[in-house]
Amino acid sequence: MAGAEKSQFILEKAKKLKLLILDVDGVLTDGKLFFDNQGNEYKSFHAQDGHGIKLLRQTGVEVAIISGRKSIVVELRMKSLGIHHVYQGYEDKRAAFAGLIDHLGLTPEQVAHVGDDLLDLPIMSRVGLSVAVNDANNTVKQHADWCTTRAGGQGAVREVCDLIMQAQGYFDDIVNAYLR
């Protein structure tokens, strides 16, 4: 598929979305795990990703987290962003995905998933729009509909949020609201 055709294909898929599912480590963070001597975990989240999530949620698109690991830091960050659908500790993410879309009454075509590693492929292969961050595992990139230009934890999620808002016709109004 040529570049312009691929772009139109991605925008058509993004128009239908009602839910964005994100992985955490390697997508919302750069994938590095920091622990101090007492076992406390530290993560770094990009402010632009958080703002993009908040803007996207204002348009009516839900955002959810499905992560293979459990982290109190993730719970705190998601609470601060108003994300209520947080599934942690799911190495096999299929059950969380099935329960989530059933709970929300959505079809897989109405869902996008952003991932970076092999654990994400089972969901990516089922959704309407699969996205890999720029620094994702090469196999994951090969199975994605679209790849971001930014790396995980470096604004990649904001790119996805902006793409969805553009496809659904909200982006210009959001930008213009800041210009008033």
CATH of the domain at 133: 3.40.50.1000
- What's the confidence (pLDDT) of residue 101? 98
Does 160 map to a domain? yes
> CA torsion 60→58→115→24, rounded to 10°?
-130
Does 178 map to a domain? no
What values do phi and psi take at 7, rounded to 5? -60, -45
Task: State the chain's mean pLDDT as an integer.
Answer: 95
Q: Which domain holds residue 131?
A: 18-173
The answer to whether the pTM exceeds 0.75 is yes
Q: What percent of the chain has pLDDT over 70?
A: 98
> Which span out of 3-7, 16-20, 30-34, 68-72 was modeled with the highest average pLDDT?
16-20
Does 11 map to a domain? no
CA 37 to chain CA centroid, Å, is: 31
